Chains A and B, each alone.
Chain A
Amino acid sequence: GAVVSQHPSRVICKSGTSVKIECRSLDFQATTMFWYRQFPKQSLMLMATSNEGSKATYEQGVEKDKFLINHASLTLSTLTVTSAHPEDSSFYICSASRGSYGYTFGSGTRLTVV
């Protein structure tokens, strides 16, 4: 079946540094990927829609300059949290659209900013 690999699964970084999270579709091409953020005991909130070869579309309230998204190929999208702060600590999940076949989710990245 379709697999989306998300890396790293866990990362701890110091406040003020940047962290890059990768999302790869392993056996299919994904022209559209999505980035979600999940707070403890809450639902997934869509942060942005990533389209291959074009700029990402951010949801209202999400800072474009803080959460940089790059979708340079049909199998890779990256989310970079710049100048991370403790309030950015969260669980980040990516998903890839497979058209009529639906969506495949990555296994998530637990980011802790200390």
Chain B
Amino acid sequence: AQSVTQLDSQVPVFEEAPVELRCNYSSSVSVYLFWYVQYPNQGLQLLLKYLSGSTLVESINGFEAEFNKSQTSFHLRKPSVHISDTAEYFCAVSEGGSEKLVFGKGTKLTVNP
């Protein structure tokens, strides 16, 4: 069965510092990978996704994630964070052909001035 591990439950950083939020998954078949962001008392918003093709995917607000099949990872990075990036970030996986998403436990990113 597929599972998603987000190793860090909380990541505090200073504004303009780089950040990496880690995500590892386990699956025996091909997968689709997602990062979602959740602001307090709101639903989830898709940040970026990997379905196929280039292993490096980018979002419009400066985040990027790289699919590493050998390490079964999909870490999220941003070279310089803003206060407004403070939120909860969820990594999710769906096995190819399935519509079910399995989520990690989330990483709370706090950007301090």
Whether A43 and B90, one on each chain, are in contact in the complex, defined by CB atoms closer than 8 angstroms, is yes
In-complex Cβ contact of B45 among A34, A41, A97, A105 (8 A) = A105
A46 an interface residue at 8 Å Cβ cutoff? yes
Q: Do B41 and A44 touch (CB < 8 A)?
A: no
B44→A93 contact, CB < 8 A: yes
Give the secondary structure class of B's interface: loop
Contact with A along B21-48 (1 / 0, CB 8 A): 0000000000000101000011111100
**How big is chain B's contact interface, by range?**
20 to 34
29 interchain pairs, CB-CB under 8 A: A4-B43, A6-B43, A9-B41, A41-B9, A41-B106, A42-B105, A43-B90, A43-B104, A43-B105, A43-B106, A45-B103, A46-B100, A46-B101, A46-B102, A49-B99, A49-B100, A91-B41, A93-B43, A93-B44, A95-B43, A95-B44, A103-B46, A103-B101, A104-B46, A105-B43, A105-B44, A107-B43, A108-B41, A108-B43
Residues of B within 8 A of A (CB): 9, 34, 36, 41-46, 49, 51, 90, 99-106
Interface of A with B (CB < 8 Å)? 4, 6, 9, 32, 34, 41-46, 49, 91, 93, 95, 97, 100, 102-108, 110
